Amino acid sequence: MSLQLLKHFFNPQSITVIGASINVKRAGYLVMNNLLAAGFNGPIMPVTPKYTSVHGVLAYKQVSDLPIVPDLAVICTNEFRIPDILEALAEKGCHSAIIVTTESDHAVSNRIYDIAATHKIRLLGMSSLGIINPHNLVNASLAHCNALPGNIAFISQSAAVCTTVLDWATSKGIGFSAFISLGDAQDISFAELLDYLARDPKTQSILLYIDNIDNARDFISAARAIAQHKTVLVIKSGSSVLGAKAAALHSRGDFGHDSVYDAAIKRAGMLRVHDLHELFAAVETLAYSNYLHGERLAIISNGGGLGVLAVDNLVEEGGRLAELDNSVMDKLNACLPVNWSHNNPIDMIGDADPKRYATALGHLMDNDKVDAVLIMHSPSALSDSEETAQAIIDVIKQHPKRKQINILTNWTGEEAAKPARQMFANAKIPTFRTPNGAITAFMHLVQYRRNKKLLMETPTTLPDHLIYEADIAAEYIKQRFELQATCEFSDHDRQALPQNVKLDTYATKPLLDAYHLNTIDTAIAKDIEDAIEKAKVIGYPLAVKINSPDIQYKSQVHGVMLNINNARELDSALNSIKLRIKTALPDVRLNGFTLQKMVASGLALELRVMIKQDAIFGPVIAISQDSDARDLQTTLENAVVALPPLNMALARYLVIQGIKDKKIKVKQHARDFDMQAVCLMLTQISQMLLDNPEINDLDLNPVLVSGSDVIIVDSQVKLSRTNANSRDNSVNRFAISPYPKQLEEIVTLKDGQKVLIRPIKAEDEVRHKTFDDGLTKEDRYKRYFSQRGSMTHEEMAMLTQIDYQREMAFIAVRLVGAEEQETLAVIRASTDPDNTEAEFGMVVSSEMQGLGLGKVLLSKLISYQTTKGTKYLAGMTMLSNRGMATLAKKLGFSTERDIEEGVINMHMELNKGPSV
């Protein structure tokens, strides 16, 4: 549904309050009072059968009596009356409503949302506190005070958190561009609001309080889009299991795992904070800070102890101290006492006066090796706290680099320091009570910068010789389902294939081999005699394991024995296993044994790699060293988690995060740990998951890493037909749209040469930059409407690391045999969040013009956007680019010359029905 309707929540021209009241304890009283107090300058129309007027404003008995169609309705009545009210609003023509009523009856609530959807009424709530937009004088809420105008947008599923944050921000003088209480978020979602705020010029930063989300793909897509331009901070409730369940119940959502939410937040380029105290610090930092261009922090203090505390906190959080070069050292030596610390942190001694602070700060801000400065001050009878604060404020205001350098202040103490902290707050300079608070705030900026940098990192291209056989894997999976059916069903029921198939180590080997994942020699023996014969082929030493469909974890029943060196030991071991299990579990089915060649693992690092299913985000990839965890929650708590698809850069980030969080301990194995090899394995597992939607669960435990050798010793896979019922749509189960390989095609041009047409990939950055740099001046001018220079890494990353959910770029690549060579052309389209219109642009290198490549690309884009359900496709080209205009006309575009702007506008209707 169109985002256009959301503007009526943020900037309504008229508002009706249904259930308006003169009773101070009623919601209808508070909403009317807040609207009037905020100074809303449009019509405010109370609806109530009880009163002639409310707050001096003429009231109407029912919705049908309203003199005009309201842009926004605020519903404050009993929930059982709401269905009839929505019907009346729809008849009147109002399609935007806030429900501040607290729900109690789920049946009534479901009926409310059904009626709203039928009549295309957008609902904020139920149980919403309302919405505040200070810039437009809108306070359609139950809040106890109005929000100040500012550049931060706050969206929360908790009304209680809303009032707490609003109260704190008002006391600090921090303002908002929008303040939104989502309520149960059954209609208007985080994703829609993020898309709307992305286009709001008054919003620079966004804060989210999340209990749960519903549509993971829409949420991540919207978050990734806005995080490229604006800072997004998230506080996610439910970090514990019980807390997560409570959060889901609070907002009528599903229960997702906290570690997966954490991975999603990082992957989208957002920053997570973990409690309200941390959120408040982050809000203050966001409100007053510049974008952090680097991570080098300099610290100034009037006491060595303060600086040491700050450094300890910085190191513990993974921060970085600035190194003072000779030029700044000379300047500091000239203005500081001889007994200053001569290092960073800069201890200027306890008698540091305002002039000393101001001079030192000026020198640090002048220096190119410093990205941020933390100024610390402890109460001193030798230095006036407020005069020092004013001196610092004056330096910052006058310094030419005030927009490049981040300044944070920490005035310790209580009563003596309060006036100075207030001065900093009034001057919009972040200020904190403790060294830890200041460092935490700085690290918020650092972590956000790192998350954003991760979004722009160019992944390493997979080795050219690495080939995987997806067709072989798919055929093998099909055979396993058919084999299971043979075992489970009679001939009469054979066509009813099983829904689930479990594969043990032996049965998973062909699947893993298809993706060139290293396994060890494995054999299945039906009995002890068969095992002894097959051991002669595999060779000793051996590991032996019991085979039983009733035993999931063999080690729990002592069903595994290692280092079997000869036939006598093998016979004894297998008899011992059988006796143990038959004694302890007499009803368990025994289907023989698995034999494996022992791998020398003494110096190897043991990892566990898993694919698990999350209720919110779908398939996730996890890696840990906890080989014993059985339940899903414990497994994910002890692992680092990533959302597929993974490339080499994302896999590397996952492993580094695991090492940092001590989930992967490589110190004692450092010389035996090849990061590239492990990342390659993770990337291949990701590809296997993408290619085979039947894979529901995978557990590789252990995976031995010794140098560049990565060997899977034991493995289990659970296949599910429910994941593959619609193979073409199976990618929808992923929270992040994977590379749409099905869109690849090879075409033959007019001169007979074959080119590959495919969607662009993140790995294309280097080759795409070569293509862009190689365009002629004329081609660049026609594409960019100006003479622009070579693109930066950040610009090129945005062109190649696209979100297939909302944009598409097809490139043409020269083929020599099966090898891809240089990029020859590109066509790109960006679709609005409503999927109403896509805007395209295209450029073909000069050498390839006239061969029909432009027609191929534009035809492919038309087909793609039509299938996607986009209503319109539009483009613009220069008046001089007649070739583009002629091609567009031939393919069905209408064209219109705009002489004043010097362009030709191209437009095509693709779908007449509603957008998908």
**Which residue reads 């299990």 in tokens?**
581
Peptide bond into 345 cis (omega under 30): yes
- Among the residue ranges 88-97, 348-357, 584-593, 903-912, the one predicted with the least confidence is 584-593
**Calpha distance 770→587 (Å, rounded):** 67
Q: Amino acid identity of 240?
A: S
Please give the average per-residue pLDDT across 82-104, as a whole number: 93
Digit-coded pLDDT (tens) for 354-407: 999 999 999 999 999 999 999 999 887 777 889 999 999 999 999 999 888 999
* pLDDT reported for residue 246: 47
Phi and psi torsions of 709, nearest 5°: -85, 120
* pLDDT reported for residue 178: 97
Digit-coded pLDDT (tens) for 796-832: 888 998 999 899 999 999 988 878 889 999 999 999 8
Phi and psi torsions of 107, nearest 5°: -65, -45
**Calpha distance 238→615 (Å, rounded):** 15
* pLDDT reported for residue 793: 83
Digit-coded pLDDT (tens) for 599-626: 766 678 889 999 999 999 999 999 998 8
In the predicted structure, residue 667 carries a pLDDT above the cut 80? no
In the predicted structure, residue 866 carries a pLDDT above the cut 90? yes
Exposure string over 200-222, b if 16+ CB within 10 A, otherwise e: bebbbbbbbbbbbbbebbbbbbb
Digit-coded pLDDT (tens) for 272-324: 888 887 887 777 776 677 778 889 999 999 888 889 999 999 998 889 999 99
Peptide bond into 83 cis (omega under 30): no
Quote the pTM value.
0.84
Give the strand pairing for 53-54 and 640-642.
Answer: unpaired
Q: Give the CB-side neighbour count of residue 86, counting CA atoms within 13 A.
A: 25
**Calpha distance 703→608 (Å, rounded):** 6
Q: Amino acid identity of 191?
A: A
Q: What is the distance of C-alpha 915 from the center of its chain?
A: 25
**Calpha distance 27→45 (Å, rounded):** 15
The candidate with the shortest Cα–Cα distance to 718, out of 475, 508, 483, is: 508
* pLDDT reported for residue 813: 96
**Calpha distance 580→562 (Å, rounded):** 16
Please give, one letter per residue, the 3-state secondary structure of 573-628: HHHHHHHHHHHHCCCCCCCCEEEEECCCCCCCEEEEEEEEEECCCEEEEEEECCCC
- Between the ranges 385-389, 756-760, 788-792, where is the mean pLDDT highest? 756-760
845 — pLDDT class (breaks 50, 70, 90): very high
244 — pLDDT class (breaks 50, 70, 90): very low
In the predicted structure, residue 243 carries a pLDDT above the cut 60? no
Q: For the range 552-560, what are the long-range contacts, defined as Cβ-Cβ under 8 Å and sequence gap of 24 or more?
A: 552/716, 553/630, 555/628, 557/581, 557/584, 557/585
Please give the average per-residue pLDDT across 758-768, as a whole number: 92
Q: What domains can you pick out in the chain, each with its CATH number?
A: 1-128 (3.40.50.720), 147-288 (3.40.50.261), 290-455 (3.40.50.261), 741-909 (3.40.630.30)
* pLDDT reported for residue 171: 85
Phi and psi torsions of 455, nearest 5°: -60, -30
